[in-house]
Chain A
Amino acid sequence: MSETENTKESEVAPEPEQDPNHDFIIEKMASGLDSDLFVDRSFGDNIVIEVHPGHIFEVISFIKDFHIYADFLDSITAVDLMTFKGPEKDRGTVPWKEIYPQKEEALPADENASTEEAAFAGPRLYMVVYHLFSFRMKSAIIIKSVMPEEKLEIKSIDSLYGNANWLEREVFEMFGIQFRDSRDLRRLMLPEDWKGYPLRKDYKEEASYRGMATTRPEPLTKLREASLRKGPEPEK
């Protein structure tokens, strides 16, 4: 491996600057929508906003039809935040309780947990991430929405974009997130009798599927053991 010759330690790339359209976009959204429907979480050169799952359709149709004209849906994806050791803001601890005192809480809080335990304790959260793009402004907007496992549903946006249906179907079959009012929420890639949601962090596949074993013994194990062993093969 010629890694030590002809190479040097890595230089640090310059910090990415803020997207020039960031201020315009946030200002237009604040003027058109209720200010408590979204929270600005932008960092680096990304424009990120966080929205409560109950208001996703309203926010996305605003971004699509007015001022910003984000008419291109790049992707819809989901993240299982069960074992995420990131900072609090990526775990969606937006104080929805204070913003919506009468409405249902997005995060039932666990007052007895200490701050260290709270990193892993507490409700199991899933984050749905929408990537939108606006050709007019040449900027991408990332919309995140965090929901607990008890209320794992969100309104579908397949009436707004043509490719939303397939993207949502993939998220549904991999994570189990229900998309309400979707025109067609079937499985996309997995067989019809597959059990479980594969991309979840605690997914364990069955031992066999339709009579076929899903794991096999490592083929090199016997060879490796034989080469390490000095004597003849032990009697079984």
Chain B
Amino acid sequence: MMQTTNNESRGLGANLTNLEKYTIYDPVHDEMELNMGPQHPSTHGVIRLVLKMDGEIVTRVVPDVGYLHRSIEKIGESVTYRGFMPYTDRVDYLSAMHANAGWAMGVEKLAAIKIPERAEFIRVIVQEFNRIISHMIALGTFTMDVGAFTPFVYFLREREAINDLLESVCGARLTYNFIWIGGVSHDLPPNFKEKALEYLDHLDKALDEFNRLITFNKIFVKRLADVGVISREQAKHFGLVGPNLRGSGINWDLRKNKPYSVYPKIDFKVAVGKGYKGTMGDSFDRFYCRVLEMFESVKIIRQALQMIPEGDYKIKVSRKLKPPVGEVTSHVESSRGDMNYYIISDGTDKAYRVKIRTGSFNAMTTLEEISPGMFIADLVAYFASLDVVAPEIDR
């Protein structure tokens, strides 16, 4: 059944370009249309992909997003700056600390607030812990998509310990609302350092075990190598960020190249893909970059715990903060890439416009170009390697 998009049915009454020529549901003879629907164990959230297939080979992918659209940008215009912080948790609930930090850094830049150094170190520690658990979920679901169900549960067990650590800090396990404008909401509890260091020693061994079991497993490598190759120019052309960009060989990490907070004082390496088991820029590179990033995060946390100074953990900021008129773009290197907050303020206590550009949004744009010609199993592996979460796309 052919369904064309029609001006009247949209209720817009506007003259839209190229619409009459663009039809989605237009099956050609011998072609199969398969709906990888919003409820699917492999789509990492509610994303719908309409696949047009010739047997097992995908000829075209039409993504249909918007199932998780909560109009967070519109809400940003009707709540105060401080009140918007829990909403940023939900923009990417797997790495909520990064989203919080991006908003806090943006508003602090607008209002020209300088936060104490202990708060900066606490922010770095919780953000790196959050990066570890976000990558655990990403890699765990990746292996689950490819067919190995156990590593996901292994990682959930490791994740529980970190969730307990973060719960001891701020009281929540998933959506923290911990990083506030002006610092952090609570100080670290007294025995946090000992528990964290003890856990990190255990985590090193657990990650080595994961590497031995999965990362260099012959079957796993064969599933991932040379699948979904994105070259260097293509990665920049599609605006990929984070491990997707680094997996294609571009050495760009905001924490090193445009450092913010106290990252200049901390020594760590950036994981860049170089065709470890196949071509540079394939799914295995993206996967392995995430594994290496977990090791680097452990190093960063150890150094930060050693260097953390005593002092205040936050600065008094009024509940109805009124930054001066202006705008700011603040970037934070979240687990899925560079998250860009564009905030325009008009002098009142509510923002005038908030725009959140997330790494997953740009990663979804690669699907239509890279996917034609893949087997459907490869498409699942490729889609999982992009580490897309639905709330980041739709906000």
Contacts and interface: CB of A to CB of B under 8 A. Distances in A.
A180 interface: yes
Interface string B263-299: 0000000000000000000000000000000000000
B320 interface: no
Interface in A133-167: 135, 138, 140, 142, 161-163, 165-167
Given A6-B312, A138-B257, A192-B5, A79 B353 contact: yes
A49 to B, nearest CB: 14
A193 B312 contact: no
A162 B369 contact: yes
Contact of A185 (B16, B238, B347): B16
A87 B325 CA distance: 8
Interface of B: 5, 9-12, 14-19, 22, 65-66, 69, 71, 73-74, 108-109, 112-114, 182, 234, 236-239, 250, 252, 257-258, 312-317, 325-327, 329, 340, 342, 344, 346-348, 352-353, 355, 357, 361-362, 364-366, 369, 394
A85 B65 CA distance: 35
Main secondary structure of the interface of A (DSSP, over half): loop
Identify the 4 closest CB pairs spanning chains A and B, nearest first: A189-B66, A75-B357, A195-B11, A163-B239
B357 A74 contact: yes
A129 interface: yes
Contacts of A14: 114
B329 A4 contact: no
Interface of A: 3-4, 6-16, 43, 46, 71-75, 77, 79-80, 84-87, 90, 129, 131, 135, 138, 140, 142, 161-163, 165-167, 176, 178-196, 198-199
A84 B65 CA distance: 31
12 contacts: A8-B312, A9-B315, A46-B329, A74-B340, A75-B357, A161-B237, A166-B364, A183-B18, A186-B5, A187-B10, A189-B394, A194-B10
Contacts, number: 145
Contacts of A162: 234, 237-239, 365-366, 369
The listed residue with most B CB atoms (<10 A of its CB), out of A7, A15, A190, is A7
A161 B346 contact: no
Contacts of A187: 10
B239 A189 contact: no
